[in-house]
Structure 1
Amino acid sequence: MSDHSLILGLESRLLNAWPSFDYQAYDGWILRLANGYTKRANSATPLMPGAALDEALLDYMSAHFIAANLRPTFRLNGLQAPEADALLAARHFKEIEPTHVLAAPVGRECETDPEVTISPKVSKQWVHEASEAYGGDKADETSLMGIVSRIRQKAAFATLNLDDRPVAWGLGVVERGYIGLYDIVVAPDLRGIGLGRRVVLSLMAWGCTEGAHTAYLQVREENEIARSLYGALGFGLAYRYTHRVMLGRSSP
């Protein structure tokens, strides 16, 4: 599989697994808006090899972000024409948050952790607990519920309980042989003892039962602890993406 076909295959699955509220298509680019909740759901992303970007298209898409009170953000995954990044740099769009997309083979061991419960439907409780554990900008239950309730692929909402206390959460979405792992989060007072690993392995086991052969996820390049964890679980780099954001506007 060529690099472009791998990127396109995973990017299209990501679009389905983490839906936005509004989509617009522009000459090989997909512009997505979701009230500012996560950059991947609020950015313009190339979805065609060699997707071009000129001054007029840049201005047009930027105007849609500004109208939604969002900072214009371009998520560059390697499918764009080289000139696109150069134009954004020339227009003083700052490069931020390089991110790795990692992938790993799903083993044939399909048994989930007995202390991890998996539901095919999202609940208000799952959204509340996961949002609370995240804190900060991601403690937005309304936006998280709005995104995950739009998932149309087969999904698994996982919760790890210790002594009847929910302590870790995660989301798995299966599509065409791949399981995407999202929102893996552990209660702040219990991080660093392997609970996130248990959720990841259980979601991969669930993916196995649904016919998935490969798992994928995204982690910021600066998050060396998470990258080390996933590396120990067999995840390797599939591709890298970064963001270009317009200067002079506050983050949403």
Structure 2
Amino acid sequence: MTRSGIPSSIVPSSIMLHALELAAFESWPSLEQETHAGWLLRFAKGYTKRANSANALHNASALSEDIEEMERRFRARDLPPTFRLTSDPASQAADEQLVLRGYRLLDPSYVMCLPLTAPRSEIDIVLLDDLDAWLAAFRDISGKTGAGQGIHRQILQHITHPRSLAVCCEAGLPVSCGLGVLVDGHLGLFDLATRLGYQRRGLATRLCQGLMHWGRDAGATTAYLQVFASNIAAIRLYERLGFRQLYHYWYRIKA
């Protein structure tokens, strides 16, 4: 086991790991970003840790003075210092230093990947052009409301790559939704949600298959997604679709 609590037997391909990391940064953009000592610092007014964290690039420093400088930059924005660390060896030295500095572990997660090589039949989902209409469906389905959804909208507006806003409906009611973003042949699946009471009806499967159909037609060769390691039901669903765990990541946060 690693410090993240995820089995160390998951050994990532360094080339694929870095390719998917870069694709994910562009697929879920922050509103502001900086680099410091081999780290990419992303800020988005606190909406999602993914867009509000320091991420190790090549030769990321684990020196105390560099960690202190990054902490200062987060606190200058009224954000808790947050580091996102992957199973790439470059993250390990930094993780040890963060533990010594009192950072706590949060949200161990998997990145799962699927080659898009086999033909798939078209799936009946609705693709929306209207961002506000999709966000209204997302809020209704997921139950996520409040001021954070304004920042959510800004993040989605910052996507510069091809994207697909998808919804599944039953009797005219939106019951499942998701977002697909295509970067350099890699299709990322984000904001996957199913309405309470409609789970285990195959809706999430239908939605993911529809997004992958769109992605493949748009030139995607790989699909990937991110899932909490504790979400066993979702992991099993994605495995049935053919996704496999490629690498893992976790957060270190300091209040």
**TM-score, normalising length from structure 2?**
0.90
Please list the CA deviations of residues 145-189 of structure 1 after superposition, one character each: whole Å capped at 9, or x if unmatched: 111111001100001111111111110011222111001111112
Structure 2 residue 51 is matched with structure 1 residue 41: yes
1:23 equivalenced with 2:33 (yes/no): yes
1:219 Cα deviation (Å)? 0.2
Question: How many residues are treated as equivalent by the alignment?
Answer: 243
Match of 1:63 in 2: 72
Runs of 4+ more than 4 Å apart: 136-139
Q: Distance in 1 between matches of 2:215 and 2:118?
A: 10
1:96 aligns with 2:106: yes
Deviations 1:57-99 (A, max 9, x none): 1111111111211111100013435321111000010111100
* Equivalent residues of 2:56, 2:91 under 8 A apart: no
Tell whether the 8 Å contact from 1:155 to 1:173 is kept in structure 2 after alignment.
yes
Quick check: 217-226 or 35-44, which moved more? Answer: 35-44
Contact 2:141 2:174 in 1 (8 A): no
Structure 2: segments with no counterpart, 5+ residues: 1-11
The Cα shift of 1:138 comes to 8.1
- Tell me the equivalent position of 2:202: 194
Contact 1:29 1:45 in 2 (8 A): yes
Using the size of structure 1 for normalisation, the TM-score is 0.91
- CA-CA distance at 1:144 after TM superposition: 1.2
Structure 1 unpaired stretches of 5+: none
Q: Which amino acid is the alignment partner of residue 104 of structure 2?
A: K
| C-alpha distance in structure 2 between counterparts of 1:139 and 1:10, whole Å | 30
Say which of 172, 190, 193 aligns to 1:164. 172
1:182 aligns with 2:193: no
Map 1:198-217 to 2 at 5 A. Answer: 198-217=206-225
Q: Paired residue for 1:227?
A: 235
| Maintained 8 Å contact 1:131/1:140 | no
Alpha-carbon spacing, 1:141–1:122, altered in 2? closer, same or farther (3 Å):
farther
